[in-house]
């Protein structure tokens, strides 16, 4: 599902940009930037690769341990503001010692249905 969402969003953005009446050089640079951003989003969300790709995580109340694409594990805290819906869950967390929050985007096909439901319930009520 993530690959489809990224492809649709990237194509729609490129289509809108192509239709705008702006300078051709600016348009070309923006098209390249949006294309590269879509490729990065695909690698991160759909393939779980790159510096921000998440391969797995373990949730313990308000604490979280996240494994990135290189196998490195980081511990942190789950932050307020997580988004929970039946079709999408966005988990906000901050690694210990970091200044900014990170996010983990989860779609229903990324986890088995019982685990996905339990996670949504935990985030909504916990």
Which residues, listed in sequence order, are joined to residue 83 by a DSSP beta bridge? 90
pLDDT in tens, 49-78: 766 778 888 888 889 999 988 888 999 999
Rounded-to-integer distance, Cα 64 and Cα 85, Å:
20
pLDDT in tens, 31-40: 999 999 998 8
Domain locations in the chain?
A: 2-46, 54-125
Task: Mention every residue, 6+ apart, whose C-beta is less than 8 A from residue 18.
Answer: 27, 31
């Amino acid at each position: 599902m993530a690959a489809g969402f990224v492809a649709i969003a990237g194509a729609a953005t490129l289509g809108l940009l192509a239709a705008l009446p702006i300078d051709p050089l600016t348009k070309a640079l923006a098209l390249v930037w949006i294309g590269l951003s879509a490729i990065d989003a695909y690698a991160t969300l759909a393939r779980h690769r790159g510096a921000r790709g998440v391969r797995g995580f373990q949730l313990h109340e308000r604490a979280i341990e996240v494994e990135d694409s290189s196998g490195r594990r980081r511990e942190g805290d789950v932050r307020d503001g997580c988004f929970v819906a039946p079709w999408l869950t966005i988990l906000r967390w901050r690694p210990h010692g970091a200044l900014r929050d990170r996010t983990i985007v989860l779609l229903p096909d990324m986890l088995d249905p019982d685990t996905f439901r339990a996670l949504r319930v935990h985030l909504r009520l916990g």
